[in-house]
Amino acid sequence: MTPAEGERRVDVLDEAECRALLAASSLARVAFTEGAMPAIQPASFGMSGNDLVISSGLDSGMVAGSRGAVLAFEVDDYDVGARTGWSVTVIGPSRLISDPSRVTALDALGIAPWVPATTRCYIALHMTVVRGRRISSLEAIDSGRPPPYTDPAQDPRMPH
């Protein structure tokens, strides 16, 4: 083990902490299949019950690759210099929401699409598997300081 590897600790996050980090985030990466090949795209999202709701357009590759498919979804935050941070991954089945009345109802969540779309829709990803991890600096742990970015309410980069 190198000295740099020994200066950090990896902790598994429980589901409640994963959900809190998801709730405080608004941009993620979604993995899906496009033309029989894996694809990953950034996406704006929100939460509605046990679903992550992703804003998209009916003509997008993500919509085409997600109709009923199992998707992988990831959010994270990190400090490149300290090599610390956290990540949350969600895996689950998806469904397309394109009915205009349902789209209008979900618009109330205020999720702006990452890419402008002429015909808006949403992809609902049911949170079947939710897991996360945090990489912390042992120096911060030993000093009693909280690891960076573990409490979204205290992260100055998060909207409050």
100: domain CATH number is: 2.30.110.10
Per-residue pLDDT tens for 74-126?
999 999 888 899 999 999 999 999 999 999 999 999 998 877 888 889 999 99
In a domain, 128, yes or no: yes
Greatest C-alpha distance within the chain: 57
Picking from 62-66, 97-101, 148-152, 156-160, which range would have the lowest pLDDT averaged per residue?
Answer: 156-160
Q: Which amino acid is at 154?
A: Q
In a domain, residue 78? The reply is yes
Q: Is the residue at 160 inside a domain? A: no
Number of domains making up the chain: 1
Q: Assess if residue 158 is contained within a domain.
A: no
95/134 Cα distance (integer angstroms): 30
Is residue 157 a part of any domain in this protein? no
pTM, 2 dp: 0.80
Q: Which of 76, 75, 66, 86 has the alpha carbon at shortest distance from 126?
A: 66
C-alpha 102/C-alpha 97 separation (Å) is 7
Q: Is residue 103 part of a domain?
A: yes
Share of the chain above pLDDT 90, in %: 59
The residue range of the domain holding 55 is: 3-152
